Each structure stands twice: as structure tokens, then as C-alpha cells.
Chains A and B, each alone.
Chain A
Amino acid sequence: MLQTLAALAPLPVGVLLLLASRVKLLGKNTPEVARRSALRKLVGDERVVGAYRAVGAGELVLGALLVLPPSSVVEAAVATAACAGLLGYLGYARLKAPDSSCGCLSEKVAPVRWRSFARAALMLVTAAVALGAPGYWLGAIADRPLATVGLLAGWFALASALSAELDGYWLVPLRRLRVRLSHPLGKFVPGIPLESTMDILYRSAEYRSAVGLIRSDVLEWWDEGTWRIVTFAARNGDEHGTAVFAVPLAGDGEIKAVLVPADEPVAA
């Protein structure tokens, strides 16, 4: 079984490298993706696109060598070193450019988090296992088709689960489905939010005419019949007062506004 695993190992690593190279060499927005990646911090703004493409070319060659016959321990050794390098790059990205995107497997923005490390570690272990490959992976599949296909499916499922870039294909729809079934925010509370009233008030001629006098955010608000009353502190020179607005709760209609002078000194 161990020999089967070792023989099979170059295939998933190679396929993942080929997928990664596709983004870097054939992507529609390669320069943009490159500049968003931590590679920009590593090699600088001017060289980042070239370096990103060079990495893609390296991934293409190595991926092709791993997937195509014959099987070679040198290929596996290079792949192991490359995966270790990837882990190092991720560590650098996390430390030096935590807001940048991985730029690894897709054009989607995917900051470097624990899953990126776990995926790189999975690749590193798999590439290391490939060092003991007794022969080409196709032979292992022919010998034990069910077991090997099952293993490969499990490996790719795990790699997908560890790829934040692929969340949009399975995790987000799954979470949306859960929200649709459970309605976690569904407890609807009737009423008109203050924000809605403020939106109407801020746009009104009444508020605009008083805006130079108003010094505070909302002091108080309450509902009175079909009106919502909102008050602000107002000041004109040394004169203090309260600007009082009455906004129709229905949203349309005349807004009433008065300035009421302070009936006592404004003290705490």
C-alpha cells in the first residue's frame, strides 16, 4: 500500500502545480493579481509581474514533469524543495504583507491564512512521499483502480477544502443554503429605523438651513403620533438652544423645525 501511495503521489502535486501555473500564465488579470500578491513586497513593484510569470513557468514545467512519464526521484526532490519554498513564501507573506493575497491558485483575493499553510504542508508531505515512488503513477492506478481513485478524490477534496480561493464554489453556496433554511436573522422587528428618518432629515431644506447652527449629533429622538421628533444642540455665537425637527414617519410631507432657546445655562 505504501508503494502505491508513493507511486500515486506525483500526480496530485503535479496537477495542482499545473492549475497554479494556469492562473499565472493565462489569467485575464495577471498583472493585477501579481501586484496584489506578497511577491510585490519580495521583489518590488517593477519586477513583480515578471517574477510572478516566472514562477508560473516553473510550476508549468515541474507540474508537467510530475504528471508525464517517466517517474523520477529528481522530479520528486525538486517538487519537495519547491513546496518547502512555498511554505517559506507563505510565512514571509504572513509576516511582511499580511493584507496581500496569496496569488497561488486563482485570481480571487485570498489572504494567507492557516489553510494556505495547511495546503502547502499537504503538498510538501505528498511530494516527499513521491521520493519513494517505485514507478509511474498510471501503473499504480491500473493495479488498484478503486483504491487509488478513492485516494486521489480524497486528496483533491482535502486540497479544495484548504483552498480559500475555491470557497466561492462550495463553502459560500453551502452557507447560503444554511441561511436560507434557518433564517438566522429572520426575527423581523417592525418599525422605522432612526437611520431612515435621519436620511430624510439630512436631505431636507429645513435641516440645511439650520446646519450652521447645529453643533451636535442627535441629542434625543422620540415618536409622537405620526411624527418622529429629533433634537440637536444648537449655538449661534454665545446663544445656546435646541434645534427641534419633526419628520413625518410616513417619509413624505412637510418637515417642521424650530429653534428653542436654552431655558437654563448649558451645564452638566
Chain B
Amino acid sequence: MNNPLDRRRFLTSAVLGSAGVVAGATALGSLAPEAVAAPMPKLDKNGIDPNFAEGRITAINGSMLMVTASDRSFHRIQLTKATSVWKLRPTTMDQAKVGDGLYARGVRMPDGVLAADALWLNIVNLEAHIVSMGTNVLHLDHNGNRLVGHVVPGTTAAVYNGTPAVRDLSMLQVGKHAQVIGAWRPDTNEVDIATVYAAAA
């Protein structure tokens, strides 16, 4: 089932169709959470999780990412079809580019390769003040540094006072603080905004 649309149709019928439509599919929802707790990772003496990696992509070899961490250590990260890739939004592995920053979580294989379950590209989480606004732009002060936050119509969402996310950004206020989950544009002081958390005006 290589065609993504065919696969989507198949999975749609699996979840919305009646029981037994898809062979082998099992309904979820009946198990207690404790019954399926994931195994816990073993940390080293510094609390470093071997199943986690951060750094910048220095080379891409097929589905293998070569990554240099901020402590200059080197990681090889293997992506598979089962790896979720986030870059401003859920996307596909071909969006990973040399120079991207990343956080990855997966399973460390005996050969040192991290088989990634989840990959977050260029993701940043910023506590900032909204200094001013321009056309689809928020000018942010993050720890005294100026950042440009780009609103991406159709993607950027706002969460006001912890209520469900909406696309309406009109309640954001100049001078107020905000938390921004976004995708950094490598080697710039600009981010594309995925979600902005703010206190409603």
C-alpha cells in the first residue's frame, strides 16, 4: 500500500468502519493506562537519556541523519516510515534539511544508531513579550533578544488562557507576554509560529 491516499482510505475505514472491516485491527480504549505503560529508559549517571538526541543535521544519507550535538558529540539517527516528523506541522522525512536543528526520541540500537520514533525539526518553545505587530508578523522580545515570529495562515493557532486552540489571533496584545511553539528558520532570528499561548485581552 505505497500510495498515501490508499493508505489513508484504508486507515479511515479501519477507524470509522464497523468492527472486523480491517483484518487484525483491534479497538483501543478498553485497556487501563497502567496496563500498557511503556518501558522506562535507563539513564546514565548525568541523567542523560540514551534514547534522546539533540543537535544540528550536518549530512543526510538516505534516511540516516548525521547530527552534531551542542556538546560536539555525533549522532546517527535512522528514520523509518513509522517516524513522526514535525517541522512547523506534522510532515514527512524529506523535509529534513542539512542545517536544521532537531530533537529526536527513539531507541538506541547496539551499533549506536538512534532508531527515531519521533523527530522534531527546528522546534523552539519561547517565553517572550510581544513588542509590536506587523502584517502577519509578531515582533518578540525573548530574554532581551529580538525575534521575528511569522504567522503562517492556516497553520498558526492561538491558545488563550488554556482554552482550546483557535485560528483567531486578534486577541493577542502588544506589550503582553506569550509562549510560542514554532519552527526556527536556521541561522536567522526568525521563527514560523505553530502555536502561540497568551492571556486573552
Contacts and interface: CB of A to CB of B under 8 A. Distances in A.
Please determine if A and B sit in direct contact within the complex, based on CB atoms under 8 angstroms apart: yes
B110 interface: no
Interface centre among B84, B135, B136 (most CB of A within 10 A): B84
Contacts of B140: none
B164 A243 contact: no
Contacts of A210: 28-29, 31, 36
A263 B164 contact: no
B1 A212 contact: no
Interface in B134-151: 134-138, 143-144, 151
Contact of A256 (B1, B16, B33, B81): B16
B15 A268 contact: no
Contacts of A95: none
B82 interface: yes
A224 B36 CA distance: 29
Contacts of B15: 229, 244-246, 256-258
Interface in A223-268: 224, 227, 229, 231-233, 235-236, 240, 242-246, 251, 255-264, 266-268
Contacts, number: 189
B3 interface: no
B178 interface: no
A113 B131 CA distance: 14
Nearest to B12: A224
Interface residues of B, number: 70
B175 A176 contact: yes
B84 A233 contact: yes
A188 B156 CA distance: 11
Contacts of A168: 175
A75 interface: no
A247 to B, nearest CB: 10
B180 interface: no
A182 B53 CA distance: 43
A242 B11 contact: yes
A196 B164 CA distance: 5
B16 A193 contact: no
Contact of B38 (A175, A184, A189, A212): A212
A189 B167 contact: yes
Interface string A198-229: 01100001101111110111111110100101
B78 interface: yes
Sorted nearest first, the 9 A-B pairs with minimum C-beta distance are A212-B36, A268-B63, A193-B157, A195-B165, A216-B84, A233-B82, A257-B28, A172-B175, A215-B117
Interface of A: 98-99, 111, 113, 167-168, 172, 175-176, 178-179, 183-196, 199-200, 205-206, 208-213, 215-222, 224, 227, 229, 231-233, 235-236, 240, 242-246, 251, 255-264, 266-268
Interface of B: 1, 4, 8, 10-12, 14-16, 22, 24-33, 35-38, 62-63, 78-84, 86, 89-90, 93, 106, 117-118, 120, 131-138, 143-144, 151, 153-155, 157, 159, 164-170, 172-175, 194-195
